[in-house]
């Protein structure tokens, strides 16, 4: 064990800090370490700095991880804690995902002071979201609603809802649970109605490839079931060249060594939606995810993804 504190890199939002403190607590418990053996280092990312534009306009996945990964490569921190839905499918050379914590609730939470369900909302009502996926899913299910941009952390978005900027919004159940704010959920949306983002509800820990000491330190925290499911989802996303500019939902589930993944991709305006499902042995998680992606590409036609790229 090193003499100085292990540095845990994270964003500074309340949710990101809650996740980093959870990792710290688990490490202390697993290794019978003291509080001062671990230091949480807050790093402001591009996604945190850009508040005046939709993220889809300024880049793909990685906006909430870029500066943290740079600090990791510069050895300013020893490990990085991420919400897996924010992590790009291609990591910088020299970095790898070492651990996945047990996954939280994967569902989206419908939140509204006036309506219990999306289907209850009257035509013309406003849904606030900064997620291209959620916006496309809403436009597919309820083209009569108005989707408005809704940036900010959990607390900011709930305040906007309270102020009447929108009539309803969606947040991840996992984030609300981790913040002790489950009481804010009006209705948890079944994944059969609304597939979550790839990696939603999962916390991943990124380290340098050459850090065997850190890898060994983190080993007891890894949840193999979560790791296999997220691996399949990320293979699916990578094959689709998915970013935050492409509305994609995906969820893998594991039971008795058998993995099933469901996925969908939509046009941003919600007029096109392609979905599918693949199953197989858990050991083939990557192949199953890739095959599902190819199924959707075949259904949509070879020009679908290119049309989305040309439109952005």
pLDDT at 116: 97
Tell me, yes or no, whether 152 and 236 share the same domain: no
pLDDT at 261: 98
Residue 194 lies in a domain: no
Tell me, yes or no, whether 207 and 97 share the same domain: yes
pLDDT at 61: 63
In the predicted structure, residue 302 carries a pLDDT above the cut 80: no
Say how far apart CA 282 and CA 288 lie, in whole Å: 9
**Token pair listed for 173:** 């159940």
pLDDT tens digits, one per residue of 142-169: 999 999 998 788 888 999 999 999 999 9
In the predicted structure, residue 47 carries a pLDDT above the cut 80: no
Q: What is the CATH number of the domain that holds 60?
A: 3.40.190.10
pTM of the shown model: 0.92
Residue 272 lies in a domain: yes
> What SS3 state is found at 125?
coil
Tell me, yes or no, whether 97 and 1 share the same domain: yes
CA dihedral 286, 172, 262, 121 (to 10 degrees): -160
3-state SS record for 180-246: CCHHHCCEEECCCCCCCCCCCCCEEEEEECCCHHHHHHHHHHCCHHHHHHHHHHHHHHHHCCCCCCC
**Region 22-47 average pLDDT:** 92
Give the structural domain span for 11: 1-101+202-222
Residue 196 lies in a domain: no
Whether 157 contacts 128, CB under 8 Å: yes
Tell me, yes or no, whether 260 and 151 share the same domain: no
Tell me, yes or no, whether 298 and 260 share the same domain: yes
Tell me, yes or no, whether 25 and 67 share the same domain: yes
Whether 116 contacts 187, CB under 8 Å: yes
- Identify the domain boundary among 189, 214, 237: 189
Residue 197 lies in a domain: no
Whether 241 contacts 268, CB under 8 Å: no
Tell me, yes or no, whether 54 and 133 share the same domain: no
The region of weakest confidence among 60-74, 161-175, 197-211 is: 60-74
Tell me, yes or no, whether 82 and 157 share the same domain: no
Q: Is 95 exposed, middle or buried (0-12, 13-18, 19+ CB in 10 A)?
A: middle
**Region 67-93 average pLDDT:** 96
Residue 52 lies in a domain: yes
Q: Considering only CA atoms, which of 216, 165, 194 is closest in space to residue 262?
A: 194
Confidence grade of residue 3 (pLDDT, cut at 50, 70, 90): low
Say how far apart CA 221 and CA 206 lie, in whole Å: 13
Tell me, yes or no, whether 287 and 255 share the same domain: yes
**Region 23-46 average pLDDT:** 93
pLDDT tens digits, one per residue of 262-296: 999 999 999 999 999 999 999 999 999 999 999 99
Tell me, yes or no, whether 214 and 160 share the same domain: no
pLDDT at 55: 55
Residue 245 lies in a domain: yes
Confidence grade of residue 56 (pLDDT, cut at 50, 70, 90): low
Tell me, yes or no, whether 184 and 138 share the same domain: yes
Residue 304 lies in a domain: yes
Strands 273-281 and 258-266: antiparallel
Tell me, yes or no, whether 178 and 44 share the same domain: no
Q: What is the helix (H) or strand (E) element at residue 176, kind and residue range?
A: helix 173-178
Q: Which residues are catalytic?
A: 86
Count the domains in the chain. 3
Tell whether the torsion through CA atoms of 272, 254, 180 and 8 is positive or negative: negative
pLDDT at 243: 52
Provide the mean pLDDT of the chain.
Answer: 92
**Region 206-224 average pLDDT:** 96
- Identify the domain boundary among 168, 189, 210: 189
Say how far apart CA 19 and CA 82 lie, in whole Å: 8
% of the chain at pLDDT higher than 90 = 82
pLDDT tens digits, one per residue of 98-113: 999 999 999 999 999 9
Q: Considering only CA atoms, which of 120, 103, 276, 96 is closest in space to residue 173?
A: 103
pLDDT at 1: 47
pLDDT at 305: 79
pLDDT at 15: 94
| DSSP structural state of residue 103 | P
**Token pair listed for 296:** 């959707």
CA distances from 83 to 133, 246, 263 (A): 17, 19, 20
Residue 195 lies in a domain: no
Confidence grade of residue 176 (pLDDT, cut at 50, 70, 90): very high
């Amino acid at each position: 064990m090193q003499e100085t504190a292990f540095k845990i890199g994270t964003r500074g939002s309340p949710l990101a800090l809650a996740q980093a403190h959870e990792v710290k607590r688990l490490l202390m418990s697993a290794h019978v370490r003291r509080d001062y053996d671990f230091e949480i280092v807050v790093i402001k990312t591009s996604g945190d700095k850009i508040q005046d534009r939709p993220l889809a306009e300024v880049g793909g996945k990685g906006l909430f991880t870029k500066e943290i990964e740079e600090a990791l490569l510069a050895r300013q921190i020893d490990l990085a804690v991420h919400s897996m839905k924010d992590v790009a499918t291609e990591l910088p050379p020299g970095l790898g995902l070492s651990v996945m914590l047990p996954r939280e609730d994967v569902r989206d939470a419908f939140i509204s002071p006036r309506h219990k369900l999306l289907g209850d909302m009257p035509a013309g009502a406003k849904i606030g979201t900064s997620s291209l996926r959620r916006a496309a899913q809403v436009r597919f299910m309820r083209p009569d609603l108005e989707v408005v941009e809704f940036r900010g952390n959990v607390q900011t978005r709930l305040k906007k809802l309270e102020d009447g900027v929108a009539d309803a919004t969606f947040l991840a159940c996992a984030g609300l649970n981790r913040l002790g704010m489950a009481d804010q959920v009006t209705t948890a949306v079944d994944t059969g109605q609304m597939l979550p983002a790839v990696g939603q509800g999962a916390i991943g820990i990124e380290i340098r490839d050459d850090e065997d000491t850190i890898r060994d330190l983190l080993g007891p925290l890894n949840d193999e079931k979560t790791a296999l499911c997220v691996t399949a989802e990320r293979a699916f996303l990578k094959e689709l060249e998915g970013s935050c500019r492409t509305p994609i939902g995906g969820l893998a589930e594991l039971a008795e060594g058998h993995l099933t993944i469901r996925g969908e991709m939509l046009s941003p305006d919600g007029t096109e939606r392609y979905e599918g499902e693949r199953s197989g042995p858990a050991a083939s998680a990557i192949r199953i995810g890739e095959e599902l992606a190819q199924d959707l590409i075949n259904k949509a036609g070879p020009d679908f993804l290119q049309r989305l790229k040309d439109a952005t």
